[in-house]
Amino acid sequence: MEMGGYVSKIISYYSGDTEAKNLGNPKEALHFDSTMAPSLSSHHGINVVEGVSSNFSVFNPAESGETVSGYQLDLTKFDRGHLIIVKYERSWAPEDDDSLENEILQRGSVMPIPYFHQNIFPSLLPLDSYITTVRFATRDGVPSFKVVDWRDISEQPYNKMPRILNIPVATISNLSRSPQFLTDRGDIDIVTYGGELYTFKHHGIFPNYALEYEDRCLEEAIHIARFSSPYILRPSYLISGKSDGGPLPFRGILYPYLPAGSLADVLRRIQTTKPFEKVTLDSLPLWTSKSTEVPKLKISWSTKLRWCADMAKSLADMHAQKAYVGHLTPDNFFLDKYGAVKLGDITPIRGFNVHYSAPEVTGTHDNADFTLMSARDVFSLGIVFWNLAEERLDSDRVWPDRIPYLSWTSVDKRNAVPPWFRVLVKDCMHMNPSQRPSTADILDTLTIHLAASV
C-alpha cells in the first residue's frame, strides 16, 4: 500500500475514535476556572496589574523594582485605559534606610495603591497616554517622583504587519478576553472573536524597544506561514493594531483554542505513575528485557499509535522543507478537538533542553553545538514517544551528554507497548546521529503497523 493510503487510513480512523475525541475535549478545559472574578480589586478605579523586583530573595533583597498600575482598565479588552509604571531603586543613604522604596524591595512587594493614589496619581492627571513611566525616589527623607516617559499605544515599538497572504488579519480591538480563562503566561490570553474561542499569543503588556531587534512572536508568524501541512498547527488570524495613518502594527497571532492543550497537559491530566525518584530507572535501560510494575495505563495503545503517526507525519512534513524544531518536547504537540495531534510552537531555537536534546548538542557550555538538524529532532521525538507510551513526563537526565535510561511498563495486553515500538524508540535515540532513522522511515514503520491494526 502506498504511503498516501496509510495516511488516509489514519485520518479516516479518527472519525470513529471516541477515546481520542474525549481526551481532546476534557471536562475541565485548559486554563478554565469558573471561580475567576471578572475584575481586579480596585481602589478609586486604580488596580495593581503587576509588581517586579529584580533578583529578589529572602536573603538577598532586590536593588530595584517597579509597580505597574492600571486606571480605567477594561479587562475584557486590549489597549483600553491607562498603565502607570512606577520605577524605584534601593536607597543606600543611612537617612533613607526606612524609605518606602526600601520597604517595598525588602518585602518583594508592590507600592501600596492608597499611597500611589494620594501622593502620585493626582499629579499625573489628565492621563492621555496608554503608558506613563514615573521614577520614584527618597532623598534626605523626602520622597519625590518625576515623569520620565509618556507613550501612547501608537508609539509602542511594534513592528509592522508582515505580508502573509495565506493567513487572514483581524484587529485587536475586536478581540475580547474571556475572564474565566486564566493562563500563567503574560503573553497568552484566551479570547473570543466572532463568537469563537481562540488562543491569543502576543507581546507582553508593555513591550520594550528590544522588539525592534528581536520579535519572537513576529518570527513565529513568518516561520509558521511556510507550512501548509494539516498536521502542523497554523494560525487562524494574524492580529493588527490601529494604524493611525501609518503601517499596521503587528500585535500577535490567533490560534484555535484547544481545550486539551499540549500532549504534556494531557499526560499531566491522566498521569498515573509515582514520581520517578521512586522508580529505579538506572537498572532498567531502554534495551533491557526487564520491566517495572506501575499503575495501569489509561490511554489505549491503538490511540497512542495513531498519535505517534500524527507526530511523525508533522515532523516529516517540516523536514521535507529543510526546517527543524531544535527544541522538541511534549509541549510542542497539541491535541485538537477531533482527537488528532498537531505540531506547534515550532519557531527554531538554537539551544538545548536537558531532558530532550540529543547528546551531541552539548558536552559542556564551552563546546555546545546548536546546529539544527533532522537527526536531533528524531532523538527528541524518541523520548516524546516514550513519554506517551508510558504516560510519564519524568526524566533521570541532569545533562544531555548521554542517552537517558527509560523503563517500560508491564501491563495488560490491551495497552502493552509492543516490542517493535520499543526498538523504534531505541533506534531514534541512537548515540550515533547517522544511525537514527529519518522521520519518513519512522512514519513508514508506524503506518504499516497502524494499517495492520485497522
Burial of 245 (0-12, 13-18, 19+ CB in 10 A): exposed
- Rounded distance between C-alpha atoms, residue 358 and residue 403, angstroms: 8
- Rounded distance between C-alpha atoms, residue 20 and residue 39, angstroms: 36
Q: How many CA atoms lie within 13 A of 83 on its CB side?
A: 24
Q: Domain 156-256 falls in which CATH fold?
A: Phosphorylase Kinase; domain 1 (3.30.200)
Cα angle: 239, vertex 245, 251; to 5 degrees: 20
Phi-psi region of 254 (alpha: psi -120 to 50; beta: other; left: phi over 0): beta
Element (H, E) at 196: strand 196-202
Phi-psi region of 258 (alpha: psi -120 to 50; beta: other; left: phi over 0): beta
Which residues share a beta bridge with 190?
Answer: 199
Do the Cβ atoms of 324 and 374 come closer than 8 Å? yes
Q: What is the pLDDT of residue 404?
A: 86
- Rounded distance between C-alpha atoms, residue 328 and residue 200, angstroms: 22
395 phi, psi to nearest 5 deg = -155, 145
**Nine-digit cell string for 101:** 522604596
Mean pLDDT by 10 residues, the chain (454 residues): 48 66 89 54 76 62 88 87 93 94 91 94 93 95 94 86 89 89 79 95 78 84 93 96 85 96 94 43 40 68 95 97 94 96 88 87 71 94 96 83 82 74 96 96 96 80
Q: What is the pLDDT of residue 40?
A: 54
Q: What is the pTM of this model?
A: 0.82
What is the full DSSP assignment across 123-155? GGPSP-SSEEEEEEEEETTEEEEEEEEEE-GGG
- Rounded distance between C-alpha atoms, residue 301 and residue 307, angstroms: 10
Give strand ranges (E) for 222-301. Answer: 237-240, 250-256
Q: What is the pLDDT of residue 250?
A: 95
Q: Domain 3-28+261-453 falls in which CATH fold?
A: Transferase(Phosphotransferase); domain 1 (1.10.510)
DSSP state, residue 252 = E
237 phi, psi to nearest 5 deg = -150, 155
Q: How many CA atoms lie within 13 A of 401 on its CB side?
A: 8
Closest among 418, 411, 434, 436 to 426, alpha carbons compared: 436
Which residues share a beta bridge with 262?
Answer: 334
Do the Cβ atoms of 225 and 164 come closer than 8 Å? yes
- Rounded distance between C-alpha atoms, residue 178 and residue 8, angstroms: 37
DSSP state, residue 282 = G
CA distances from 306 to 167, 346, 409, 446 (A): 29, 21, 20, 8
**Domain parsing of the chain, residue ranges:** 3-28+261-453, 46-153, 156-256
Q: What is the pLDDT of residue 289?
A: 39
Which residues share a beta bridge with 322?
Answer: none
Q: What is the pLDDT of residue 264?
A: 95
- Rounded distance between C-alpha atoms, residue 182 and residue 69, angstroms: 19
Element (H, E) at 109: none
- Rounded distance between C-alpha atoms, residue 305 and residue 454, angstroms: 11
Q: What is the pLDDT of residue 412?
A: 52
Strands 169-171 and 237-240: parallel
Domains 3-28+261-453 and 156-256 belong to one CATH topology? no
Q: What is the pLDDT of residue 287?
A: 40
